[in-house]
Structure 1
Amino acid sequence: MTFSNREFRSVAVLGMGTMGAGIVHVLAASGREVVALEADEARSRYGMDALTRFLDEGVKRGKTTPEARAQVLARVRTTTSVAALTGVDLVIEAISEDIEVKKSVLTAVAAVVDADTPICTNTSALSVTELAAALPHPQRVAGLHFFNPAPLMRTVEIIAALQSSQELIERMETFVDSLHDKVAVVVKDRPGFLINALLLPYLNDVIAEYDDELATAEDIDLALQLGLGYKTGPLAMLDMIGLDVHLRATEAAHQATGDARYAPPPLLRQMVAAGQLGTKSGNGFRNSDTITSKDS
């Protein structure tokens, strides 16, 4: 397949959760028109509210201007209709980490966009090759993995599925380079890709250490921030990512590899079952209401 010379001026983002809203922000700030698809109006409003709060905080901190804030919001249009994506230059999927749900939504989107429109998934651990196999023209499918929060994290993994054309990968590299302060890293389609293949076991180990009462959540984060030079402590990072998101990612990597390092710690499962999901639920590891499994 030869792709058109379109410059990806209009981009569809599927999903307006925390990650989706962040990707919308990045794209709109780069001057692109964005069509954000959600299942219903309530979820669209949630995403737009999150985007607006992030922009407002940027204005407050002097990181952006009121004029730039207004321009970003003006470039974003939300919809609940797949048909509204007709004619977009690029699709980026950022919905639930459930491969069957992703296949269903992407199949519907593939039916309305042009045959040479690249379709990218922001999955953090699922097989891009399997997703591509479920879609027509799989050579136009790749992974485009942003990290949370997308407006601040610089790395974007470009995942080459077995079917991805070399032309597509090169065009995605050019696209990422056109985004403000983003750096592309091309990786193979493996469970966890590059960063999460290393990060998921690390976060699981930290959860186990917290559960063993090695130190308080605050002290664990402080020690690893200062000792390793990380900007964010691992437990605060988990709260920001969402414990349910981390659980799904570890489950997918563990199922795909059988590697015990990816097996979700018991406390992680318990907290998700209890609705303690981190920042989005208002409680998580850095919340005083959280208890260890040793206490239960």
Structure 2
Amino acid sequence: MTDTTIDFPNIGILGFGTMGAGIAQVFAASGRHVIVLDTDQTRLDAGVASVSAFLDDGIRRAKVTEQDKAEILGRIQATTAVSALYGVDAVVESVSENAEVKKAALIEVAGVVGADTPILTNTSALSVTDLAAQLPNPGRVAGLHFFNPAPLMRTVEVVRALQTAEDLVDRLVGLVDSLGGKDPVIVKDRPGFLVNALLMPYLNDVIGELDDELATAEDIDLAVKLGLGYKTGPLELLDMIGLDVHLHATEAAYAATLDPRYAAPPLLRQMVAAGRLGNKSGDGFRTTATTSDTEKN
């Protein structure tokens, strides 16, 4: 049963993709009841399977138990009916990183949930202030930005839009603290917020270095990991994030700032146009057939 002594005991989530599934798992693991909305049953089934597979890996690593898995999955309800979100204590949006798609989803949900129900977005680069402006009572809108994979990454950015009520910011800090193993960071609503404002230019520079044949993809990742102490190389990270996701994010940041650091490198556009999106397509900077063959030698 949901623990009614915790804040936001019932959470609605929009989108059951990679991020939505991870966020749903995090909230369910904290004892909250989670209702995930997506467009069709196939996507819902894939989301449940993703959570189940992640927990199975945790069981193999002795991080969670079979009972933990059963309880977490038991707290997640998947639905295609937006009406099922009526009565939730907050909604977290995690649909495609596209402003018009997000606005349409948020407007639809705002018509179902209570007028004062907090509506939170997991956008990584879009303006929370702009999204809030589309909704009634924009003071209840804020950013709650998890990083991928959500169950493992500690940092959660609490994004204060220009309209966000201060008491909501305080509640969201408390919410993140209650999730276990998460650290809230309050940030302004700026393109890329804090982490991605630093990350996007770095990743764009790395793509440029690869395109200039400064080194192979493997050697670039190896040099960054060994030279800077990073756990994951930048091209490995791009494949995990999804090249299309990074393209949308960096394009949004560039459109908002006209800062050349955010301009998408030509190679990134070409990769996305070719359908080479990274891990999700099985073909990216480090997941291509050529790379795999090279790594075997």
**TM > 0.5:** yes
How many angstroms does 1:227 deviate by? 1.2
SS at match of 1:59: helix
Deviations 1:202-234 (A, max 9, x none): 000011111111112121111111211111111
How many angstroms does 1:287 deviate by? 2.3
Deviations 1:10-32 (A, max 9, x none): 10010011111110111111111
Task: Compute the RMSD of aligned alpha carbons.
Answer: 1.3
Mapping of residues 73-88 of structure 1, within 5 Å: 73-88=73-88
Task: Determine the structure 2 residue equivalent to 1:103.
Answer: 103
Runs of 4+ off more than 2 Å: 287-291
How many angstroms does 1:160 deviate by? 0.4
Please tell me whether the aligned partners of residues 282 and 288 of structure 2 are also in contact (alpha carbons under 8 angstroms).
no
Mapping of residues 168-187 of structure 1, within 5 Å: 168-187=168-187
| Cα separation, 2, equivalents of 1:53 and 1:272 | 27
| Cα separation, 2, equivalents of 1:216 and 1:105 | 41
Task: Determine the structure 1 residue equivalent to 2:37.
Answer: 37
Please tell me whether the aligned partners of residues 28 and 73 of structure 2 are also in contact (alpha carbons under 8 angstroms).
yes
How many angstroms does 1:260 deviate by? 0.6
SS at match of 1:153: coil
- The aligned length equals 287
Runs (5+) with no aligned partner, structure 2:
292-297
Mapping of residues 1-296 of structure 1, within 5 Å: 7-289=7-289
SS at match of 1:92: strand
SS at match of 1:201: helix
Please tell me whether the aligned partners of residues 13 and 94 of structure 2 are also in contact (alpha carbons under 8 angstroms).
yes
Task: Determine the structure 1 residue equivalent to 2:295.
Answer: none
Please tell me whether the aligned partners of residues 6 and 89 of structure 1 are also in contact (alpha carbons under 8 angstroms).
no
| Cα separation, 2, equivalents of 1:252 and 1:161 | 17
| Cα separation, 2, equivalents of 1:9 and 1:201 | 38
Deviations 1:131-184 (A, max 9, x none): 000001100000000000101110000110000010010000000000110000
SS at match of 2:144: strand
Please tell me whether the aligned partners of residues 222 and 233 of structure 2 are also in contact (alpha carbons under 8 angstroms).
yes
Q: Which moved more, 1:178-187 or 1:282-291?
A: 282-291
| Cα separation, 2, equivalents of 1:118 and 1:288 | 42
SS at match of 2:92: strand
